[in-house]
Chain A
């Protein structure tokens, strides 16, 4: 009975486009979206560099990145907290408990996923592509660009997977964002807080939306991977 009531209230919050709810969803998308853009802008060129150049200890670097794909968000949060706290090396910037700190945290979580999966996609491109491109008169930079284009579905999968991870994580943004109402409170941290308080309606409403977004992301991922597979 109690569960049914909570569900009913949650659905009415969604249907009525509750302002608080909308604010929280918007901030979540803004933080995770910005983190994704930053991680992609830095990660993709790095993945390309790793894919096209040889350098010492590359294998170790790739293994490290793969390990960091599974970096527990709370650990990432803790490390960034130490850096951003007042006595930390970047404390003077006053970023702790701001959306910027949350973006930094999620960028760090998204980064290894984007780099690792993009790198795998780039080195997975059939070597015949590079030979064909070269034989048609492409300069080295044009060959590289052609390979990146061929890897585009794998790269997109990596970016979508990273988005799924940062949208769902709570540990890092809770620590560095502080869950301040109307300022750094996002979907996952609200769910954690409201559940603690015993106010399940808002938590449930956000849970439903988060699940829907997750479903959307997975559907997109499936589409991209299917397109990549069909066109191979």
Chain B
């Protein structure tokens, strides 16, 4: 794989209350890494720090590519992406939401539109592309969030509780999408979930977080 991530000795507190304590981990192969753990165990914070959305209080987040260390600049940030639990859809059509990542990279026109159509078809939302993104169901929102991330072909895709607030049918669709990505072997998926059965179905590597500490799943 071209992009690898190593975090070492990450600590983070919110208003004096420690959330992450000395967390270290390496993500060095194209696989699905699943993080489980109770609510408030620090999974989401860990994901946001790894996804460079939030800074750690101390510790190192090192991205490497072909042996070289990468700066945490916009170029690196454009090779990874994080799908948040609440997604944060923009008040526009499903298509324009999915196209966002390409637009901000200056990629427009027929090729970009084709890529967006492909991804929307991949997550099963092609028929809704002209609809307002704020009127689709919660399961479809989740799939659109993933489509919006996939359109930019991230080398590492972080998914924070991708099936927490959706029904079984949509949950199964999301799992299929993740399994397809796994079979494709080009994207590293690092996700959190509190559904242990789901973790079992998806994980190449299963880790558990407890009270801000990372422990390998037994």
Contact with A along B70-105 (1 / 0, CB 8 A): 000010011001111011111110000000110011
Q: Tell me which residues across on chain B come within 8 A of A142, comparing CB atoms.
A: 104
Please determine whether A135 and B81 come into contact, CB atoms closer than 8 angstroms.
yes
- Mask, A134-145, CB within 8 Å of B = 1, is 111111001000
Is B77 a contact of A126 with CB atoms below 8 Å?
no
Do A146 and B90 contact each other (CB < 8 Å), given the known contacts A136-B104, A138-B104, A231-B134? Answer: yes
Q: How far is the CA of A138 from the CA of B77 in the complex (A)?
A: 9
Please determine whether B78 and A137 come into contact, CB atoms closer than 8 angstroms.
Answer: yes
Query: Are A128 and B90 in contact (CB-based, < 8 A)?
Result: no
What 10 A-B pairs have minimum CB-CB distances, sorted nearest first? A132-B88, A128-B88, A137-B78, A135-B82, A136-B101, A142-B104, A138-B104, A231-B134, A231-B91, A128-B86
With A138-B104, A139-B104, A231-B134 known to touch, is A132 a contact of B84 (CB < 8 Å)?
Answer: yes
Give the docked Cα–Cα distance between A107 and B152 (Å): 44
Is B53 interfacial (CB-CB < 8 Å)? yes
In this complex, the member of A131, A133, A139, A150 whose beta carbon has the largest number of chain B beta carbons within 10 angstroms is: A131
Q: Does any Cβ of B come within 8 Å of A53's Cβ? A: no
Tell me, in angstroms, the Cα distance from A139 to B74 when the chains sit together: 7
CB of B73 to closest CB in A, whole Å = 10
B91 touching A232 by the CB < 8 A rule?
Answer: yes
Distance of A39 from chain B, by nearest CB (Å): 25
Contacts A/B (CB < 8 Å), 16 sampled: A128-B86, A129-B88, A132-B87, A133-B100, A134-B53, A135-B81, A135-B83, A135-B84, A136-B148, A136-B152, A137-B152, A139-B74, A139-B104, A146-B90, A149-B90, A150-B91
Are A137 and B74 interface neighbours, CB within 8 A?
A: yes
A135 to B100, CA, bound (A): 11
Chain A's closest residue to B158 (CB) is A135
B 148-199 contacts with A by CB, 8 A: 148-149, 152
Docked Cα-Cα span, A135 to B90, in Å, equals: 13
CA distance A152 to B152 in the complex (A): 26
Interface of A with B (CB < 8 Å)? 126, 128-129, 131-139, 142, 146, 149-150, 152, 231-232
* Inter-chain contacts of A149 with B (CB < 8 A): 90-92
Cross-chain pair count, CB within 8 angstroms: 59
* B139 interface contact, C-beta 8 A: no
Residue among A126, A128, A136 having the largest count of chain B Cβ atoms under 10 Å: A136
Closest to A153 in B: B91
A48 → B minimal CB distance (Å)? 17
Q: Is B132 among interface residues, defined by CB-CB distance under 8 A?
A: yes
Q: Give every chain A residue within 8 A of B77 (Cβ-Cβ).
A: 134, 137
Query: What CA separation (Å) do A134 and B88 show in the bound complex?
Result: 11
Query: In the assembly, what is the distance between CA of A126 and CA of B87, in Å?
Result: 11
Residues of chain B within 8 A (CB-CB) of A146 are 90, 100
Q: What is the 8 Å Cβ interface bit string for chain B, positions 88-127, against chain A (1 contact, 0 not)?
A: 1111100000001100110000000000000000000000
Q: Point out the residue from A136, A139, A150 that lies within 8 Å of B81, measured CB to CB.
A: A136
Q: Does B212 contact A (CB under 8 A)?
A: no
Nearest A residue to B82 by beta-carbon distance? A135
Q: Which residues of B contact A150 (CB under 8 A)?
A: 90-91
Contacts of B135 in A (CB 8 A): 231
Question: Within 8 Å CB of B152, what residues of A?
Answer: 136-137
Asked whether, in the complex, the Cβ of A135 is within 8 Å of the Cβ of B74, the reply is no
Residue of A nearest to B77 (CB): A137
B91 and A136 contacting across the interface, CB-CB below 8 Å: no
Residues in chain B near residue A231, CB distance under 8 A: 91, 132, 134-135
Cβ of B51 under 8 Å from chain A: yes
Cα distance A150–B89 in the bound complex, in angstroms:
10
Q: Which residues of B contact A139 (CB under 8 A)?
A: 74, 104
Question: Which of A126, A138, A149, A232 has the most chain B CB atoms closer than 10 A to its own CB?
Answer: A138
Determine the chain B residues whose CB is within 8 A of the CB of A138 once the complex forms. Answer: 104
* Interface contact B134-A137, CB-CB below 8 Å: no
